[in-house]
């Protein structure tokens, strides 16, 4: 199993450009999420999904869009990149979701996508 | 907003010593988890402790939870250079919530 795969690993954008960070998992996990990690701030939740067709906002959703058309994929779209979105982005999945008890909650993380917005 | 706050922010110890990291949180929880992050890598789940548990062990890891004080500690015994990493606590606030909230982490350096 590959686990959680994120692409690209590195990306440089200019202000105003748009792009999509890809996330795929092969563990049949219902729950998927996106976090951003900034120095001194820890990890902050951007968006999450508890199953195909269901998404919801986390702590810092502004400037980002998500969709969940399949169980496996959960892309994160930056609509108009800003320097404040320079960060390392992590996708994470978990076996719990709408059909399961949320008592487990263990997250499986990808290796991260490092984004720089100039 | 950050739910968990780790203490200390950074910790440097000699190989073979024990390392203790603490986490405090603000609201009631369903479970608390600890993760490790090696430099430039993703986070890896270490251990989960539920709100009705007080202590849990996994190999050289020992986690305690005090819900009355809203705090947890992670003890790594007989540390190794390979334990050098950042450690994060994360809280799950309860049934119906699908969010895991992370603290800012403790950076542990184990000197050979």
The 10s digit of each residue's pLDDT in A4-52 is: 999 999 999 999 999 999 999 999 998 999 999 998 788 999 999 988 9
- The CA distance from B39 to the nearest CA of chain A, in Å, is 11
- Each residue of A43-90: pLDDT tens digit? 999 999 988 999 999 999 999 999 999 999 999 999 999 999 999 999
Of B99, B63, B104, which Cα lies nearest the Cα of A49? B99
Q: What is the pLDDT of residue B30?
A: 84
How far is the C-alpha of B49 from the C-alpha of B53, rounded, in Å?
Answer: 6
Rounded Cα distance, B96 and A96, in Å: 11
Position B79 scores a pLDDT of: 97
Give the mean pLDDT of chain B: 92
Match 């350096």 to its residue by tokens.
B109
Residue-wise pLDDT tens digits, B33-86: 999 999 999 999 999 998 999 999 999 999 999 999 999 999 999 999 999 999
| pLDDT value of residue A39 | 86
Is pLDDT of A99 > 50? Answer: no
> What pLDDT score does A98 carry?
45
Q: What pLDDT was estimated at residue A4?
A: 97
Give the per-residue pLDDT at B5. Answer: 82
Higher pLDDT, A95 or B75: B75
Residue B93 has pLDDT above 80, yes or no: no
Higher pLDDT, B69 or A95: B69
10 Å CB burial of residue A67 (0-12, 13-18, 19+) is: middle
Residue A69 vs residues A40, A50, B93: alpha-carbon distances, Å: 34, 12, 27
What residues of A are in the B interface, CB distance below 8 Å? 4, 31, 33, 35, 40-45, 48, 50, 56, 58-59, 90, 92, 96-97, 101-112
Contact across the interface for A45 and B50, Cβ inside 8 Å = no
- Counting Cβ atoms within 10 Å, is residue A23 exposed (0-12), middle (13-18) or buried (19+)? buried
Q: What is the mean pLDDT of the segment spanning B83-107? A: 86
Write down the pLDDT at residue B95. Answer: 57
CA A59 to chain centre: 13
CA torsion sign, A23 to A10 to A39 to B13? positive
pLDDT-based confidence at residue A106 (cuts at 50, 70, 90): confident
How crowded is residue B80: how many other Cβ atoms within 10 Å of its Cβ?
12
Question: Mean of the pLDDT values across residues B11-16?
Answer: 96
Mean pLDDT of A111-115: 97
SS (H, E, C) A84-96: HHCEEEEEEEECC
* CA–CA min distance A81, chain B (Å): 23
Query: Which residue's entry shows tokens 């890896």?
Result: B44
How is residue B14 written in tokens? 């000699």
Strands (E), chain A: 4-7, 10-13, 19-25, 31-38, 42-51, 54-57, 64-66, 76-78, 87-94, 108-109, 113-117
């Amino acid at each position: 199993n590959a686990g959680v795969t994120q692409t690209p690993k590195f990306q440089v954008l200019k202000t105003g450009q748009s792009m999509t960070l890809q996330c795929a998992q092969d563990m049949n996990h219902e729950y998927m999420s996106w976090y951003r990690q900034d120095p001194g701030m820890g990890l902050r939740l951007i968006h999450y999904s508890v199953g195909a067709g269901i998404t919801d906002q986390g702590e810092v959703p502004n400037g980002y869009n998500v969709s969940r058309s399949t169980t496996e994929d959960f892309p994160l779209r930056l609509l108009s990149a800003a320097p404040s979105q320079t960060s390392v982005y992590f996708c994470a999945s978990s076996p719990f979701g709408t059909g399961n008890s949320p008592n487990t909650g263990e997250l499986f993380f990808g290796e991260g996508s490092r984004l720089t917005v100039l | 907003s950050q739910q968990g706050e780790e203490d200390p922010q950074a910790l440097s110890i000699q190989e073979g010593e024990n390392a203790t990291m603490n986490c405090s949180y603000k609201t009631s929880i369903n479970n608390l988890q600890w993760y490790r992050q090696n430099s430039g890598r993703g986070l890896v789940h270490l251990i989960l402790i539920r709100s009705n548990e007080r202590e849990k062990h996994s190999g050289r890891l020992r986690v305690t939870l005090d819900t009355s004080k809203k705090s947890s500690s992670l003890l790594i015994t007989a540390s190794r250079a390979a334990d050098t990493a950042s450690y994060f606590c994360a809280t799950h606030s309860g049934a119906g919530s699908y969010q895991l909230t992370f603290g800012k982490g403790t950076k542990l350096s184990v000197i050979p």
